[in-house]
A and B are shown apart, each in its own frame.
Chain A
Amino acid sequence: MKKWLGIISLLFIFLVSVSTPALAQKAPAKKPAAKPLGVEVIKFGGMGIMSGPLSICGRVIMMGAQLAIEEINAKGGILGSKCELKFMDDELKPAVGVKNVRYLVNEWGANFILGVDSSGVAMAIGEIMPEMDRIYISTHASTDRLTEELVWRKGIKHIFRTTVPTYQEAILPAMIFKDFTHIKRWAGINCDYEYGYVSWSLFKETLKKYRPDVEFVASTWAPFWTMDFTPHISAALAANPDAIFSTPWGGEGVQLIRQALIMGAFDKIQLWWHPTGATTDFLEAVTSEVRADKFKGKLWVSGRYIHNWLQTPENKGFVERFVKRWAMYPFHPGQGAYDAVYFVKAALEKTRSLKTSEVIKALEGMELTTPAGHKYMRPEDHQAIYPTPAGRPVHDPAYPIAVVGDFKMVPAKEYFRHPPFEPIKISK
């Protein structure tokens, strides 16, 4: 009996000694202030292409979102809740994208999904967002169908986009180059998937409206993983075009223009429109060619954001912080991701709730001054409205790599399509 008493009392002392510090700790700490959003952490699930020739575009999405999150967390988060990013590779495959979203939402607990480079992936995940009951903000994928068809026509309210769709690659140049009356014959070297089909069709349709005299003399198509564009370039040049319109992007875009240079294309044509050329990887890769004037001023580029265009304090500060954080100049998918996080922040501060339907309402019609300028989230199609110019790669001694200069501007409301979005005849 005595023995038992001893054991029990020892056990008691042990229990008390173990639990006391815990009690002692708890007692003086006052109850943490309730977070208005009800969560410790707001989780952003990001996606993009993280491997292969196009991977710089996925990485820059991660960089932009991460920078925004770090800035917000340094200032105490959103209404006291910290933000967190988990980024996944979608391999440009719609099935992988859908699988990732399901994982990010169901397993990891993502509150928001952002990113995606490929239009095919964006369309696939856009369709499942209502089922996931989460908002997806596209920051790069640019088929107009994402906002025109899925949001406006089908009414999937869970999709938003912070960057310009293919209006940038297709309508903007049509409105600029319509005035180049000496250019009559256009050839296309385009991506053999959604993005290429939409851009080329939209460009042809728009330009034809202003200039019934232009001809489209050749179109060639290159799938993902094209490593040699010489047959495409040669086939396009065989039709004696005045100008070439090309959509391959990332490392593939650099290869295309490089191979066009060594094939002497810039001696034969008057103009080359390469709408994804305002990206940092592209400008870096052609820096020596730009300095040597190999393009003879014939290469025209754009992007959905150009880091040296706007001289606003928002933009200057953003570029400075981005370069400091990532040792690279920002370009559009990353800038779009940065804006996506800030759009969410502004919406949550308005709703003080993570309820998807309320956040959607808050985002609709929201206006935000961002490094890319003033963005207005059009309520009908959830597309951010803002302009970015076209220009030519130039050498500017203030920068170590080529930058875009000779800007040509068209106001956003002129080159963006508007509801009711007359259908575009899309063909290969």
Chain B
Amino acid sequence: METLAFQGLVGLSLAMYLWLLAAGLTIVFGVLGVLNFAHGSLFMLGAYFAFTFYGLWGVNFWLSIILSLLTVAVVGYLMERLFLRYIYHLDHAYQLLLTFGFILIFDDAVKMVWGGVAKIPAMPSFFEGTVSFWQRPFPIYNLFIIGAGILVALVLWLLFEKTWWGRIVRASASDREMASAIGVNIPILFTGVFVFGAMLGALGGALGTPVRVVAPGIGAAMIIQAFIITVIGGLGNLKGAFVGAIIVGVVSAYGILLFPVFELFLIFVIMAVVLMVKPQGLFGG
């Protein structure tokens, strides 16, 4: 029993990286209607920038994360203003082509700037150590990640449900033309939402820097799981992304403990079942 509870906690910390990645993906899709394949690349860039500030230049850990988010915000801004903006009215297939192109460009750009070899910076010393759960040591860093993930979920909920900006975003998501007719500046709003989504992805990447590998291709490796999460939770639905991420993270962790031989397969089974029973996803409407 304790073993299961502990493994669940491990799964929860796994889920939080996925949640941060899936949140940005699903917000951008929900509001802009764009399925951004390159969202994983923004996650990767977040990790690389955080590594550069923190691991290479010795900037304070927290400041590095903020700087990394701001840098990725600029990248997201340029992506939206110079490219995505021109294909909103086109079929989804064009968006996939364009954003897939971005994956290749970002992966190669990263190789040119940082080289192909994986980067592994040292852990900030204040995160070292463990706390005991059920007589077993649990890393403080993973606890911090769980806390950060839940905090982001709360902030997003407040932002979208309780603020004026959130109401406008939701209004534009449900009826773009009507929102525009009552005076919402849609192009600016779209840029803002895209940049926001990019920063969420970058946060996931940046927070993983001290414990996970930073290498070209990590974005493409992560984005598949993010898609699975959004399919399970319902594409464009934030609550769905949160629940979906927890399902995927925790099920992976239990799979590794209980069914090591076909653990990878489990997530796909869940996705298939959800698609059969509720094709729009658990929270999709």
Binding site for B on A (CB under 8 A): 50-56, 59, 192, 218-221, 223, 225, 227-228, 230-232, 234-235, 237-238, 250-252, 254-255, 258-259, 262-264, 267-268, 281, 285, 288, 428
Contacts and interface: CB of A to CB of B under 8 A. Distances in A.
Which are the 4 A-B pairs with shortest beta-carbon distances? A251-B118, A264-B137, A231-B253, A235-B257
Nearest to A49: B116
B28 interface: no
A223 B255 CA distance: 14
Interface size class of B (residues with CB under 8 A): 35 or more
Which applies to chain A's interface (DSSP): helix, strand, loop or mixed?
Answer: helix
B91 interface: no
Given A52-B216, A235-B256, A254-B120, 8 more contacts: A51-B216, A225-B218, A228-B212, A231-B257, A262-B139, A264-B137, A288-B122, A428-B260
Interface of B: 3, 6-7, 10-11, 13-14, 17, 107, 111, 116-118, 120, 122-123, 127-128, 130, 136-139, 141-142, 208, 211-213, 215-218, 221-222, 252-253, 256-257, 260-261, 263-264
B123 A231 contact: no
Q: Which of A221, A288, A428 has the most CB of B within 10 A?
A: A221
Contacts of A218: 260
Given A231-B14, A238-B7, A428-B261, A262 B211 contact: yes
20 contacts: A52-B216, A53-B118, A55-B215, A56-B117, A59-B117, A219-B260, A228-B17, A230-B13, A230-B139, A230-B142, A231-B256, A235-B260, A238-B6, A238-B7, A258-B120, A262-B123, A262-B139, A262-B142, A263-B138, A264-B139
A328 to B, nearest CB: 10
Contacts, number: 123
B263 A221 contact: yes
B118 A56 contact: yes
B145 to A, nearest CB: 10
B217 A51 contact: yes
Contacts of B11: 231
B252 A258 contact: no
A281 B215 CA distance: 14
Q: Which of A228, A252, A258, A263 has the most CB of B within 10 A?
A: A228
Contact of B120 (A52, A59, A255): A255
